[in-house]
């Protein structure tokens, strides 16, 4: 026997909304984990900068590999932390009217921005970087400096991870705004209350 309530529009709508919320929750959890993890690298980066300065100007010893390590860490923090920053609204907004909008109006603006700009541009960056990164991996690209780190190809892989993470979090943010528009205007406030004690990179 077929379960007739499966074909009930209300049941179907509720199921889709619940699955959408689960997808959003999963992406947010992943983004938060990565963001918190890479944030610890900032402390290591500061310590390494102090070591570089001390060894160079006090001990008169220079290390190109150590200097490049700071660049690597800097890249990891910013490129892998971009999704976390997006999730917590940490990117700079230049607007005149947005702050005065209601929750629904903000959701509409953010939804259109996600669909027409954020998600397509993330995909474009990934596509444009693919051959460049692949070529670097094919030759096992290393530093141009004699004593530099031999992992340039790993560093360039971030050029694919960054748009991929931005794309995923962009999808999550777009779906959040869609839920606010069509289903649950309080969804944004509930999400903010759950993440209000977290720090933005």
Angle at 163 between CA 198 and CA 31, to 5 degrees: 25
| Percent of the chain whose pLDDT exceeds 70 | 85
For 114-150, the pLDDT digits (tens) are 999 999 999 999 999 999 999 999 999 999 888 889 9
Three-state SS at 195:
coil
- Nearest CA-CA partner of 110 in 20, 162, 165, 181: 181
For 178-194, the pLDDT digits (tens) are 999 987 666 665 555 44
Residue 194 near residue 24, CB atoms below 8 Å: no
- Dihedrals phi, psi of 119, to nearest 5 degrees: -65, -45
pLDDT confidence of 172, banded at 50, 70, 90? very high
What's the predicted TM-score (pTM) here? Answer: 0.83
For 37-96, the pLDDT digits (tens) are 999 999 999 999 999 999 888 888 888 999 999 999 999 999 999 999 999 988 887 778
CA distance 46 to 52: 10
């Amino acid at each position: 026997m077929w379960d007739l309530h499966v074909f009930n529009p209300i049941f179907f709508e509720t199921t889709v909304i619940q699955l959408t919320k689960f997808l959003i929750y999963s992406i947010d959890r992943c983004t938060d984990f990565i963001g918190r993890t890479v944030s610890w690298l900032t402390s290591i980066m500061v310590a390494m900068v102090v070591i570089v300065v001390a060894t160079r100007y006090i001990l008169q010893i220079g290390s190109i590999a150590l200097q490049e390590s700071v660049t690597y860490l800097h890249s990891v923090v910013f490129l892998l932390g971009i999704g976390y920053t997006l999730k917590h609204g940490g990117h700079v907004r230049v607007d005149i009217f947005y702050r005065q909008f209601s929750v629904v109006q903000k959701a509409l603006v953010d939804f259109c921005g996600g669909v027409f700009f954020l998600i397509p541009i993330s995909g474009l960056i990934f596509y444009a970087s693919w051959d460049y990164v692949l070529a670097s991996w094919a030759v096992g690209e290393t530093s141009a400096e004699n004593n530099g780190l031999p992992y340039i190809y790993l560093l360039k892989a971030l050029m694919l991870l960054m748009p991929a993470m931005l794309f995923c979090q962009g999808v999550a943010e777009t779906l959040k705004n869609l839920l606010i528009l069509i289903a649950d205007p309080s969804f944004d406030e509930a999400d903010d209350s759950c993440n209000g004690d977290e720090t933005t990179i």
